[in-house]
Amino acid sequence: MGVLWASAEIEAATGGRASEPFEVTGVTFDSREVQPGDLFIAMPGTVYDGHKFVERAFATGAAAAIVSQPVIGPHVLVEDTARALEDLGRASRERSNALIVGVTGSVGKTSTKEALYAVLDRISGGKAHRSVKSYNNHTGVPLSLARMPRDVDFAVLEMGMNHPGEIAALTRMVRPHLALITAIAPAHIENLGSEEAIADAKGEVFEGLETDGIAIIPNDTPHRDRLVRAARRYADRIVTFGSGDADVHALHAVRSSEGGSLITAALLESEVTFTISQRGEHWVSNALAVLATIEALGLDVGVAGLALADLGGLKGRGERHHVRVDGGEFLLIDESYNANPASMAATLKSLGAEQEIERRIAVLGPMRELGEHSAELHASLAPSVLDAHVDRVILIGDEMRPLAEIIVGKVGVDMSRDVDEATEALLSMLRPGDAVLVKASNSVGLAKLVERVKEGATCSI
């Protein structure tokens, strides 16, 4: 692995003072993730101060640290380590010649980011960079920038928000050449109050566009024109994707023999036919967003189709496990990473489309940050549950009671107080031929249920 940062470069970026010359090959602020050669940034915290873990970071192999108090070992001393991380991110962006894509949206931004990365990595022969996990906030974005190798051709950076103004700050740091909004849905409506306000907050992503920048906008939202108006102030070109009169749309999208979709897409200047292994109409939309991006950038859409066909399952976002039980196996669909009304409806519809199964079981936990709309939006999932022909549903927590009150008597309903109780309920009812969907907001912790159900089993993905 090549040198990512030299001590003199870190000094210049942060205004800090290096204890001695050094070079690093990576950057992290989590001592549990330190790899040999990393730069460890001792971030302040509300519970733990990162300085308490500097010694552990060096013991694990860190080559140096950024600190606000002297330590033993190679380091750069700064006044504020959080600001130093931002400075390092900006310096990385400044030195890079990469074509930068910024991604945001209420639904599908991480999945679309991963798909875009797979395409751009294939097009560039391995010279693409991306945000890992969902590092999309005020610390994750500068960290993703600081980790960007100096010689990459492309970078895909995800940006998220909970309040107005957050994406505006992030996009001015990222300075994308192309900004993509995947979808608008009532995620974080507790803090923003309305979908219109959510659309405005997502539209801030266009504020950081570079000269001649491109905006990619979803056509299938009542807020499309609102987003177009926001983009016109900053973008040189606007491309829409989705259905209807979208610039990039599916001419045909049918279920493939493997369960994904076979898609023929009309692009701006051509057509392309390809397959995706991911199930559900929401993944058709994700794929169209990727193709709109690739064609708008003037890149090879044929290679993009091949990369999308090869894209595997994403952990917590539709990853499929065939798990053995006495007498056969059942299908476990892991959507545990996050949830809002739109993604809940999409994945329930996908569960309803599963074929050659005996029963459909949904394990559903609360959707968070819905505020005063929580009861109404949880109850609004009832048609999706019923239309998916779910046989049994395990609902976790009091927030799910409005849904339970509507579907009880039409679907077998089990109420659980927490993830542990839901896990025991699921394990007690599993049998061969079941298809189990697991979905909730990430903070609910349903990933623990997935791991426990898989524990000791032989799985194929």
Binding-site sequence positions for ATP? 105-111
CB 164 within 8 A of CB 205: no
CA distance linking residue 166 with residue 161, whole number of Å: 6
Query: Which two three-digit tokens encode residue 323?
Result: 């798990």
CA distance linking residue 444 with residue 335, whole number of Å: 12
CB 26 within 8 A of CB 149: no
CB 367 within 8 A of CB 376: no
Distances 392 to 78, 146, 280, 347 between C-alpha atoms, Å: 56, 46, 21, 16
Say which residue the tokens 């990222």 belong to.
Answer: 174
The alpha helices in 272-412, defined as continuous H runs, are 281-296, 301-310, 341-352, 374-379, 382-387, 401-407
Nearest Cα to Cα of residue 360 among 298, 448, 429, 305: 429
Amino acid letter, 361: I
Nearest Cα to Cα of residue 443 among 336, 301, 352, 307: 336
Which residues are annotated as part of the binding site? 105-111
Say which residue the tokens 């405005």 belong to.
Answer: 200
Nearest Cα to Cα of residue 159 among 101, 244, 239, 119: 101
Say which residue the tokens 């973008």 belong to.
Answer: 235
CB atoms within 10 A of CB 128: 23
Dihedral sign from CA coordinates of 166, 170, 172, 173: positive
Distances 18 to 30, 68, 119 between C-alpha atoms, Å: 21, 12, 39
